[in-house]
Amino acid sequence: MALVSVREEKAAIRQRVWQQLLDSGIGRGAIFDRIPDFVGSEKAAARLAELPQWQAARAVMANPDRAQQPVRALALAAGKLLFMAVPGLAKADPSTGSTRLSSATI
């Protein structure tokens, strides 16, 4: 029996999760081959904002996927610095691949 590579195992897990989101009706919009949005993403962001780690943080790094839009909005509303990956944009910080956003700059 051949050993399954880590990459193959991760791909199989992603497929199962995406299929479960689809089958359960929880996924919103496009689900496969991305970080999907889901019913309850706003509630999840609100729960995140209750954590002491969130409250103590001065900066947050988030991805540009729709599921994290509520997280990004809460970060900016709270006056936190927001770092977000910006694939394809030349002005990204080369060390992180992200751009620094704050409520003062947008």
Model pTM score: 0.72
pLDDT at residue 92 tops 70: no
Q: What is the pLDDT of residue 84?
A: 85
Contact 45, 70 (CB under 8 A): yes
Residue 98: φ, ψ to 5°: -130, 170
Burial 65-85 (b: 16+ CB within 10 A, else e): ebbbebbbebbbeeebbbbbe
* pLDDT tens digit sequence for 37-75: 999 999 999 999 999 999 999 999 998 899 999 999 999
How far apart (Å, rounded) are the C-alpha atoms in residues 101 and 69? 14
Average pLDDT value for the chain: 87
**How sure is the predictor about 1, in pLDDT bands with cuts at 50, 70 and 90?**
very low
